[in-house]
Amino acid sequence: MRDALGDTLAVLSHNKVEFYAVPPERFEGPTGRIEALEGGRR
């Protein structure tokens, strides 16, 4: 993960994506915008 240098990684198992590793700043940006559009609701 350290070698990704801030890029999003797809972790594969048997050629299927198991999960994505996303840097926090990439995740928090869109999440904050969605929350603002929803009026802060969760």
Q: What is the pLDDT of residue 16?
A: 87
Quick: pLDDT tens for 1-42: 667 777 777 888 888 888 888 877 777 777 778 888 888 655
Where are the chain's structural domains?
A: 2-37
User: 4: which 2 tokens?
Assistant: 């990704």
Identity of the residue numbered 30 = P
Say whether 30 sits in a helix, a strand or coil: helix
Q: 20 with 10: CB under 8 angstroms?
A: yes
